[in-house]
Amino acid sequence: MIAKRTFDAVIVGGGGAGLRAALQMARADLKVAVLSKVFPTRSHTVSAQGGITAALGNVSEDDWHWHMYDTVKGSDYLGDQDAIEFMCRNAASAVYELEHMGLPFSRLANGKIYQRQFGGQSKHFGGEQAVRTCAAADRTGHALLHTLYQRNIAARTQFFEEFFALDLVRDAEGYVLGVVALEIESGEPMLFESRVTLLATGGGARIFRHSTNAHINSGDGLGMVLRAGLPLEDMEFWQFHPTGIPEVGSLITEGVRGEGGYLLNKDNEKFMVRYAPNAKDLASRDVVSRAIAQEILAGRGCGPHGDYVLLKIDHIGADKIKERLPGIRELSMQFAGVDPCEAPIPVTPTAHYMMGGIPTNLRGQVVAPERYGPEEAVPGLYAVGECACVSVHGANRLGGNSLLDLVVFGRAAGDHAIEYLRENPFPRALPGDSVAASLARLARWERPTGTERVPQLRAEMQRILQEHCGVYRRADLLEAGIAKLGGVEARLADAYVEDRSKVFNTARLEALELENLLPVARATLVSALARTESRGAHSREDYPARDDDRWLRHTLYTRAADQLDYKPVRLKPLTVETFQPQERTY
């Protein structure tokens, strides 16, 4: 038997979502553990730049209901309207709460929280551009994550940093009773027993070759959920951010366009006017990414290979750039060799955000259809943040809505888990074989020889997803992608890790991550092939129109024989009227 620790709640993930949920439970005097494979403040949340959206009305008149309208429209009507109402209604209180915890927001001259323009945000249900995204310069995620970390330390949350979670532990009745994890320093496995397990493992855009995501964003929580026989929702929807630095992938925040920047093609034309006559450069991200892809395809891209466009911002003045966008200036000088105070930044659409994920309800409980009847919660299991799909982002997320999602649903999940723990005061018996599968998976990487190498297989997977499942998709491309991915999956059986030492064995961690990335990649391709329409970030060349009659529904993917199931979009909000699906123009 391996070492065991027991907690009321175990949270896998020390990003914004995990820390907000942990804080709620720790403040209720529960025994809370947070596991993170990196030091918590190195989670990807730290790199969020542009801000967190809430209708505070500090700069222009505003209303949470307008924010809700924009989010529903931005989602291309695939977002669940009850969840969207819940998020937008609770946005202001969630942001003020962060302010009171000490988050150092940028300030207006009158002392109120600074807000900037972001894409897809409007006043009066589709009117003028709204100014709604609250920011701490261009380091909002950094400020948010450090604030939440400090609050958790004060609330005595117990941190297990550099612990890699391997698998969920479930009993025969389907209750989740904790996780098996690997202590990275010693290489020893450990069982974390808990009545509540909350996954907050973040995104998985590392399935793509060009991505704004950290290397650690390998969809581990999604792999764990699939291995436990549970489904993933809407995995065909990945957001390509319009402005990543070519080849490197570093993100140039939408806040640059929010502060007055605009895109140019090689003819020096402000081409967004042709694609989104009203919102122009601040149309939503799927629209801008497609526009850039079209310009490049039409031969109007810049550079020797014509494979990027330019983002100009120098006209707002060096002082303003240094004050509002200091991190962006640094990134573009370091990675693109350009000082944006003087010259435009080369940019290209880059994989950025996973709209799909682990299906949950408004309280963060993971829901699964088949075993417990329609939409029943899996007892003891929660998911929050980018790994989860509530679904507030639907087919396309608006900028600034992810940080908001983390804190609103992190708090809601924490509150519900407190209730659940009260109703389930005693631990259930652990099944006899609770760690066997994980230990077998670990032992598999002990074998001394093989013919395949992990980095090679990962690179091939990333190339397949990039080429076969990018901004534009087509049946023949997706089918070929699935066939090629099958080849990579088959070769995994012959892969080995040369370094078999126990202490800080990062090669072994990469192998374990690949075991999560591959099923996420497969879920993406299979779900994308099945959806024969274009909606939000999922653009099918062979099915260019949105098809509400057939496809106003969520995809559910389970691993057994690539099984797909569907569930309806929740069009009914909590208290207000439904926003009926309409044609989406900007």
Ligand X SMILES: Cc1cc2nc3c(=O)[nH]c(=O)nc-3n(C[C@H](O)[C@H](O)[C@H](O)COP(=O)(O)OP(=O)(O)OC[C@H]3O[C@@H](n4cnc5c(N)ncnc54)[C@H](O)[C@@H]3O)c2cc1C
Active-site residue set: 285
Q: Which is nearer to ligand X, 52 or 292 (CB)?
A: 52
Per the annotation, does 51 bind a ligand? yes
Q: Which stretch binds ligand X (CB under 6 A): 35-43, 93-101, 256-264, 438-446?
A: 35-43
Q: State in Å, rounded, how far the first CA of the chain is from the last one.
A: 59
Give the per-residue contact string, 51-70, with ligand X (x = CB under 6 A; - = no).
xx------------------
Q: How far apart are CA 311 and CA 194, in angstroms?
A: 49
Q: What 3-state DSSP class applies to 538?
A: strand
Is 164 a binding residue for ligand X by CB under 6 A? The answer is yes
Q: What backbone phi and psi angles, to 5 degrees, belong to 421? A: -65, -35
**Identity at 474, one-letter amino acid code:** R
Per the annotation, does 403 bind a ligand? yes
Of 17, 82, 15, nearest in space to 361 by CA = 82
Strands 232-233 and 553-558: antiparallel
Q: CA-based diameter of the chain, in Å?
A: 68
Q: How far apart are CA 184 and CA 553, in angstroms?
A: 41
Q: How far apart are CA 399 and CA 52, in angstroms?
A: 8
Q: How far apart are CA 360 and CA 554, in angstroms?
A: 12
Cβ-closest position to ligand X? 15
Kindly state the smallest distance separating residue 17's Cβ from ligand X, in Å. Answer: 3
Per the annotation, does 192 bind a ligand? no
Q: How far apart are CA 433 and CA 170, in angstroms?
A: 10
Per the annotation, does 74 bind a ligand? no
Query: 431: which DSSP letter?
Result: P
Q: Which is nearer to ligand X, 221 or 344 (CB)?
A: 221
Of 66, 176, 196, nearest in space to 126 by CA = 66
Is residue 38 within a helix (H) or strand (E), and if so which, with residue range?
none
Is 178 a binding residue for ligand X by CB under 6 A? The answer is no
- The neighbouring-strand residues paired with 241 are 350
Q: Strands, E, within 80-187: which ranges?
A: 115-122, 129-134, 158-161, 163-170, 176-183
Kindly state the smallest distance separating residue 400's Cβ from ligand X, in Å. Answer: 5
**Positions in 392-431 near ligand X (CB under 6 A):** 399-403, 406
Contact residue for ligand X among 9, 10, 11, 17 (CB under 6 A): 17
Is 249 a binding residue for ligand X by CB under 6 A? The answer is no
The two tokens of residue 85 are 């109402």
Q: Which is nearer to ligand X, 12 or 282 (CB)?
A: 12
Per the annotation, does 44 bind a ligand? yes
Per the annotation, does 43 bind a ligand? yes
Kindly state the smallest distance separating residue 200's Cβ from ligand X, in Å. Answer: 5
Q: Which is nearer to ligand X, 164 or 586 (CB)?
A: 164
Per the annotation, does 49 bind a ligand? yes
Q: What backbone phi and psi angles, to 5 degrees, belong to 479? A: -60, -45
Q: Which stretch binds ligand X (CB under 6 A): 1-9, 34-42, 518-526, 565-573?
A: 34-42
Q: Which stretch binds ligand X (CB under 6 A): 7-15, 294-302, 313-321, 479-487?
A: 7-15
Of 368, 403, 382, 374, nearest in space to 233 by CA = 368
Peptide bond into 60 cis (omega under 30): no
Per the annotation, does 14 bind a ligand? yes
Q: How far apart are CA 285 and CA 308, in angstroms?
A: 16
Q: What is the CA radius of gyration of the chain?
A: 23
Per the annotation, does 295 bind a ligand? no
Per the annotation, does 48 bind a ligand? yes
Give the per-residue contact string, 349-378, with ligand X (x = CB under 6 A; - = no).
----x-------------------------
Give the per-residue contact string, 324-353, with ligand X (x = CB under 6 A; - = no).
-----------------------------x
Q: How far apart are CA 485 and CA 471, in angstroms?
A: 19
Q: Which is nearer to ligand X, 17 or 91 (CB)?
A: 17
Contact residue for ligand X among 8, 11, 18, 103 (CB under 6 A): 18
Kindly state the smallest distance separating residue 331's Cβ from ligand X, in Å. Answer: 9
Q: What 3-state DSSP class applies to 221?
A: helix
**Positions in 82-141 near ligand X (CB under 6 A):** 140-141
Contact residue for ligand X among 10, 11, 15, 77 (CB under 6 A): 15
Peptide bond into 106 cis (omega under 30): no
**Positions in 190-219 near ligand X (CB under 6 A):** 200-203, 212-213, 216-217
Q: Which is nearer to ligand X, 52 or 377 (CB)?
A: 52
Contact residue for ligand X among 21, 32, 43, 134 (CB under 6 A): 43
Q: Which stretch binds ligand X (CB under 6 A): 100-108, 228-236, 382-390, 432-440?
A: 382-390
Residues 6+ apart with CB under 8 A from 70: 120, 121, 122, 130, 398
Per the annotation, does 41 bind a ligand? yes
Place of tokens 């009171």: 100
- The neighbouring-strand residues paired with 543 are 540
Q: Which is nearer to ligand X, 385 or 481 (CB)?
A: 385
Kindly state the smallest distance separating residue 452's Cβ from ligand X, in Å. Answer: 22
Q: Which is nearer to ligand X, 135 or 526 (CB)?
A: 135
Q: How far apart are CA 363 and CA 379, in angstroms?
A: 13
Instruction: Tell me how many residues contact ligand X (CB under 6 A).
Output: 47
Q: Which is nearer to ligand X, 33 or 287 (CB)?
A: 33
Per the annotation, does 38 bind a ligand? yes
Cβ distance 108 to 249 under 8 Å? no
Cβ distance 97 to 148 under 8 Å? no
Is 36 a binding residue for ligand X by CB under 6 A? The answer is yes
Residue list for the binding site for substrate: 241, 253, 352, 397
Q: Residues interacting with ligand X, by CB under 6 A?
A: 12-18, 35-38, 40, 43-45, 47-52, 140-141, 163-165, 200-203, 212-213, 216-217, 220, 251, 253, 353, 385-387, 399-403, 406
Residue list for the binding site: 13-18, 36-51, 220, 241, 253, 352, 386, 397, 402-403
